[in-house]
Amino acid sequence: MPNVASNPVKLAVIPGDGIGPEVVAEALKVLDAVTADSDVTFEKTEYRLGAGRFLDDGEVLPAAEFEEIKKADAILLGAVGGKPNDPRLANANIERGLLLKLRFELDHYVNLRPTVVYPTVESPLKNPGEVDFVVVREGTEGPYVGNGGSIRIGTPAEVANEVSVNTAYGVERVVRFAFAQASARRKKLTLVHKTNVLVFAGKLWRRIVDQVSAEFPEVEVDYLHVDAATIFLVTDPARFDVIVTDNLFGDILTDLAGAISGGIGLAASGNINPDGTFPSMFEPVHGSAPDIAGQQIADPTAAILSVALLLSHLGLADASAKVTAAVQRDLASRSGARSTAQVGDSIVSLLN
């Protein structure tokens, strides 16, 4: 399902805000190192987008730059977003105008978020067990569509609605992707939803899962309400193989999954357009963390693991495996505080 890489690979790089540029620098260091001896070259173009850019010139995602990005083979994004309470950003919403716009317009209908608890990493859980699952989060529908509105704004009679839109078209393609993942892994798929309350969307998700399940008889299917799923993520996360879920539930579950697997500093993600119509985008699950920006204390591992996902998506399976292995070796040997660049250097030195 990943595309075979075109050569050279046109890579759009969006370092973004806060710790974004710092972690992206390390991710690119690793990308360069792991592909140095290969036939594939990466042609990188940097786009300065995010809260910083908006504060400079009021632009969030200018049309010309967006057109260029659309023509890239893949995108690497650090993190976007300014200080939460910056009054100058009050009416900006960089998340909707940039990050979600990229995900929606580039039809990133699969948001792929693997979780592995590496033995040497500190989990807040006493006994995480052998955790290795992947969340396949729908990326273009659900409560994220921006289909809402308010009336009588600012008055005691205000009403604000948010519509979750779910289509058979949208659910089926992500569910089929999730089944294919499960089939190539431990053959267990868990649908997470809230079918007892969100009955209309719930019935659609269940029907599609039942239907696609017929094409993958080898995959065992399970169902959990989202509330129950959070319980199992802390009491028995090892039970999961592939979780398929909607955009909002996926957002919540993957932050929790990041936390139990030793922190959001390790959680990578791919916003994938499996059809190859548009470039896929790889980014750490963490945010821009403006409070620690510029101090070289952010962990670049999530960004580096996002490069592993990117390489795998481009069909460069060997290079991807090398990056993952180097990260594992680095995690096994961690001790003491290191700068962002030191972590990147260490991972580069552990590539082989």
Ligand X SMILES: CC(C)[C@H](C(=O)O)[C@@H](O)C(=O)O
The residues of the shown chain that bind a second copy, judged by CB under 8 A, are 81, 84, 93, 95-96, 100, 123-127, 143-144, 146, 148-150, 152-169, 172, 194, 196-201, 203-204, 207, 223, 226-228, 230-231, 234-235, 248, 251-252, 254-256, 258-260, 263-264
Helix axis angle for 340-349 and 20-35, nearest 10°, is 10
For residue 251, count other CB atoms closer than 10 A to its CB: 19
Residue number with CB closer to ligand X (100 or 256): 100
Which among 200, 199, 142, 145 is positioned nearest to 174, based on CA atoms? 142
> From the list ligand X, a second copy, none, which binds 207 (C-beta under 5 to 8 Å, kind-based)?
a second copy
> From the list a second copy, ligand X, none, which binds 313 (C-beta under 5 to 8 Å, kind-based)?
none
The CA R_g of the chain, rounded to the nearest whole Å, is 20
DSSP 8-state class, residue 36: T
3-state DSSP assignment of residue 99? helix
Annotation says 194 is catalytic: yes
Q: To the nearest whole angstrom, how small is the minimum distance from the Cβ of residue 99 to ligand X?
A: 5
Q: To the nearest whole angstrom, how small is the minimum distance from the Cβ of residue 290 to a second copy?
A: 14
Q: Which one is catalytic: 17, 73, 194, 322?
A: 194
Which residues are annotated binding-site positions for NAD(+)?
287-299
196 touching ligand X, by CB under 6 A: yes
CA dihedral 57, 60, 64, 70 (to 10 degrees): 150
> From the list ligand X, a second copy, none, which binds 127 (C-beta under 5 to 8 Å, kind-based)?
a second copy
Answer for which of 153, 197, 199, 332 binds ligand X (CB under 6 A) is 197
Tokens standing for residue 29: 């260091």
Annotation says 255 is catalytic: yes
231 touching ligand X, by CB under 6 A: no
Residue number with CB closer to a second copy (58 or 126): 126
List Cβ neighbours of 124 (8 Å cut-off, separation of 6 or more): 259, 260
Which among 284, 278, 279, 259 is positioned nearest to 27, based on CA atoms? 284
Question: What are the residue numbers of the active site?
Answer: 144, 194, 227, 251, 255
